[in-house]
Structure 1
Amino acid sequence: MVTMLELTDATPAPACCAPLVQEPLGQSDAEHLAATLKALADPARLRLLSIVASSEGEEACVCDLIEPIGLSQPTVSHHLKVLTEAGFLSRSKRGTWAYYRLVPGSLLRVSALLATT
């Protein structure tokens, strides 16, 4: 009895991993981006950013942000502080009220980082 051998393709298999074509995100950039995304990863904070960005002059008084969000004043202030520390909002005090303004280009910087990663 004659055994038939099956022919196989002798072309070398492609490498298991594709080579990098651009510089990957470094450790410090990854930590910064994670902190930034963490600041955005809350529905109340996203709504606050949206309200401020939609307000005249991209600025809103904290007194105008409490009711639409439906949270207590201390909770809203905490969320605003997180957004300010993350670089999305700036804060100015006028009398007893704090006013928050969208930092120009802050949202574009995040979208640019996401587009390149």
Structure 2
Amino acid sequence: MDEKRIAAIFKAFCNENRIRIIKLLRSGEKCACKLLEEINVTQPTLSHYMKILCDSEIVVGRKEGKWTHYSISEKGVEQAKECLRQLTTLDVESENKSCCEK
């Protein structure tokens, strides 16, 4: 996974309101109108948050009439877990070498 994709995934978790949205979506799909009520932000602000969440692929949107319904993407969650695992798994080969070895 390239650095740009990794940054997009973790950007989703770098804002308290986006985390609140993710928590709200754990109970199932929610309409943007319901999210607006729950997190008490303006519609443009919610749109900005949802773009970041959808760009991360942690959340997916589905249009229905004038509203979009959002839900957590299992595939996106698995990608985020795998990304974190890869980033935090020690590279034993590199770990055993001294930085001063020639």
TM-score (norm 2): 0.74
Decide which structure has greater helix share. Answer: 2
Tell me which residue corresponds to 1:51. 24
Tell me which residue corresponds to 2:53. 83
Larger Rg: 1
Distance 1:61 1:102 in 2: 12
Please provide the CA RMSD for this pair. Answer: 1.6
Distance 2:9 2:21 in 1: 15
TM-score (norm 1): 0.65
Tell me which residue corresponds to 1:99. 69
Q: 1:74 aligns with which of 12, 24, 44?
A: 44
Taking only the aligned residue pairs, the percentage that are identical comes to: 30
SS of 1:93's equivalent? strand
| 5+ long unaligned stretches in structure 1 | 1-27
**Runs of 4+ in structure 1 over 3 Å off:** none
Residue type at the aligned position of 1:113: C
| 5+ long unaligned stretches in structure 2 | 88-102
